[in-house]
Amino acid sequence: MELAIQKMNQSVQEPRKDKASPKVGAVLIKPDGTEETAFRGELRHGDHAEFTLLERKNHSNPLDGSILFATLEPCAPGARQHPKLGCAERIVNARITKVWIGIEDHDPSVDRKGIKYLLDNGVEVEMFDADLQQQIREANKQFIEEAEERAKTFYDEKPQVILSEKEKSEIRADLDDLSKQYLEAFIKKSNLTVDWNTPKFYRILSQMGFLVLEDKKYLPTGLGLLLFGERPQFIYQNALIRATYKTKGKGEDIDTIEGSLIAQSDKIQKWYEMHIGKQIDRSSAERKITYDYPQVVFREAIINAIVHRDYDIEGAPIYFEINDDAIIIKSPGEPVKPITLEQMKRFNAPSLSRNPKIMYVFDQMELVEQRGLGFQTIKDLPEKYNLPLPVVTYDAPYMVFTFPRSGDSLKKIFPTGTLENFNDEELKGYDFVKGKGKITRKEYEEHFAFDIKKAERHLKKMVE
């Protein structure tokens, strides 16, 4: 991964001024263990790093069983002008066994479609580590910004790779089902110079994948309806949030949060603020409200659930619960491949969006952190807020995030009661190890400024 990034930094910008070329590095490991590298523009302006490796340097060499590392998602079928093949197609044709990918390509002709094509054709895929992803994003900042701008005018008449059924037109809906308020808010936030109900309005929303022209009539796509519909639940009955508040002595309150996805994000935050405990500090001129559980962490978790849930799973809403011991979020869909459950449990999962178009709209509306920063807010819980990390499980079809409200709560909800005899220091140590995945005694000792005996005692107890 690090070698691929070194090569990425040698990339040659194409001699054109209309757009920035991505910086891409690639490393090929052959079955005999030998390595070969390439970077974009190494042998000829504009040649992709993967093309240079597979076609220019190894055109006549069998590559069956090789492993490829590439800092950027290989371009998907149809992303290049006919008759050129996409790099994902070349990888499959070369019978490469496994591909490690740095970041998804933000260009709308590719965004996660190259990854899906590889997975659909039996290629194993893994993502670079989150810290290395950040290096790649920094080096490609201009390219990413321009790619996100291109998403506003991109139109693929016949996409070869479909990420979700919701990309298709929704024949049960009409333009009148869309909210002018939310569409105009999005247009304003995105700096789109377009007026409501004009030819340009319809063209741009079609290019972005929110409308489709069929039989001389514009219809919303499923994504368009979910994002901007007045009541998408008339068609997608479970594209909503079931919210429950139950606590001893205060009874139970159950609510259903409906409306567009944008509306849901606002409504569930207000519902949370109304039900979570809070204190008001009037000691200074400016009154401050402190919530019993940090609002910023909840906001990150629930927005992630809305943006990254699997909307193709029928009959599965998001479930959200506040009780005395925990805050629980259940979001439909297993981790999006190639991200694994173990990576989710350690909060070091690389950045990858299940729903790039939904992510794009939420990003433009400033409702999400930039790509790659999502888990960091949650990972800061022990150090910043003196709270345990959440327990992450998969209970089909739901990813379940259980946020303990205290160390004692963690002991109660942890499976099989394993942590019942842990004190507060040991619980903090457990969260530290959990976030790291692997750790040495010296790292543990230095992080907490413990002596050797104490560090060994803690770790021995954890191993047991």
> Using one digit for the tens of pLDDT, what is the confidence trace for 316-355?
999 999 999 999 999 999 999 999 998 898 888 888 889 9
Can you give the length of the chain in residues? Answer: 464
Examine the pLDDT at 152 and tell me if it is beyond 80. no
For 274, other C-beta atoms within 10 Å of its C-beta total 11
Tokens 């093949």 belong to: 85
Instruction: Tell how strand 98-103 and strand 124-127 pair up.
Output: parallel
CB 106 within 8 A of CB 132: no
- Residue in 332, 341, 328, 342 with CA at minimum distance from that of residue 308: 332
- Choosing from 108, 124, 150, the residue where a domain stops is 150
pLDDT tens profile 280-313:
766 666 667 788 899 999 999 999 999 999 999 9
Q: Note whether 18 and 135 are same-domain residues.
A: yes
360 and 377 share one domain: yes
3-state secondary structure of 216: coil
Instruction: Indicate if 377 and 260 belong to the same structural domain.
Output: yes
If one counts every other C-beta atom within 10 angstroms of the C-beta of residue 75, the result is: 25
Q: What is the DSSP string of 61-91?
A: S--TT-EEEEEEPPPPTTSS-TTPPPHHHHH
In this structure, what DSSP letter does residue 175 have? G
Instruction: Give the integer Cα–Cα distance in Å for 404 and 422.
Output: 15
Residue 22 CA from chain centroid, whole number: 21
Residue 77 makes CB contacts below 8 A (sequence gap 6+) with: 85, 86, 88, 89, 113, 117, 160, 161
pLDDT at 105 (0 to 100):
86
Task: Tell me how many domains the chain contains.
Answer: 4
Can the peptide bond before residue 415 be classed as cis, meaning omega within 30 degrees of 0?
no
Question: Lowest-pLDDT range, 29-38, 81-90, 188-197?
Answer: 81-90
| Residues paired with residue 69 on neighbouring β-strands, in sequence order | 27, 100
Place of tokens 């950027």: 72
Distances in Å between the alpha carbon of 448 and those of 35, 383, 429, 432, 438?
A: 41, 11, 8, 10, 16
Q: Which residue has the higher pLDDT, 391 or 288?
A: 391
Q: Is residue 131 domain-shared with residue 200, that is, in the same domain?
A: no
Q: What is the CATH number of the domain that holds 11?
A: 3.40.140.10
Within a domain: 373: yes
**What is the rounded average pLDDT for all residues in the chain?**
89
Handedness of CA 113, 117, 120, 125 (dihedral sign): negative
Same domain for 260 and 204: no
Angle at 19 between CA 18 and CA 22, to 5 degrees: 155
* Mean pLDDT score, 145-170: 75
Residue 109: pLDDT band by 50, 70, 90 thresholds? low
This prediction has a pTM of 0.84
pLDDT of residue 447: 94
Average pLDDT of the residues in 431-454: 91
When pLDDT is averaged across residues 51-74 and rounded to a whole number, the result is 95
Give me the pLDDT at residue 347, please.
Answer: 84
Q: How confident is the model at residue 422 (pLDDT cuts 50, 70, 90)?
A: very high
- Flag whether 95 is in a domain: yes
pLDDT (average), residues 370-384: 76
- Does pLDDT of 372 surpass 60? no
- Are 374 and 448 part of one and the same domain? no
At residue 285, the pLDDT reads: 63
Residue 248 confidence (pLDDT): 84
Residue 160 belongs to a domain? no
Residue 389 identity (one-letter amino acid): L
The residue-averaged pLDDT of 11-20 equals 84
358 assigned to some structural domain: yes
Percent of the chain with pLDDT over 90: 63
Q: Which two tokens stand for residue 402?
A: 């259980």
Same-domain pairing of 265 and 230? no
Q: Let me know whether 283 and 316 are in one domain.
A: yes
**Which two tokens mark 175?**
């333009």
Pair 426, 461: CB distance under 8 Å: yes
Give the Cβ contact number of residue 253 at 10 Å. Answer: 14
Mean pLDDT, residues 250-266 taken together: 93
Shared-domain flag, residues 226 and 262: no
Residue 143's domain comprises 2-150
Residue 153, pLDDT > 70, answer no
Q: How many other CB atoms sit within 10 Å of the CB of residue 315?
A: 8
Residue 371 is part of a domain; what is its CATH number?
3.30.565.60
Residue 141: the pLDDT is: 92
User: How far is the C-alpha of 373 from the C-alpha of 292, rounded, in Å?
Assistant: 24
From residue 377, alpha-carbon distances to 102, 144, 403, 433, 461 in Å are 22, 23, 13, 17, 28
Rounded average pLDDT over 196-200: 89
177/103 same-domain check: no
Quick check: is 387 in a domain?
yes
Q: What is the mean pLDDT of residues 384-398?
A: 93
Contacts of residue 145, Cβ cutoff 8 Å, sequence gap at least 6: none
- Asked if residue 11 and residue 138 are part of one domain, the reply reads yes
Q: Does the pLDDT at position 133 exceed 90?
A: yes
Kindly report, residue by residue over 31-58, the tens digit of the pLDDT. Answer: 999 999 999 999 999 899 999 999 999 9
Say what the pLDDT of residue 207 is: 86
Residues 141 and 24 in one domain: yes
- Residue 122 CA to residue 141 CA, distance in Å, equals 31
Interstrand relation of 318-322 and 326-332 (parallel, antiparallel or unpaired): antiparallel
For residue range 218-227, list pLDDT tens digits in order. Answer: 999 999 999 9
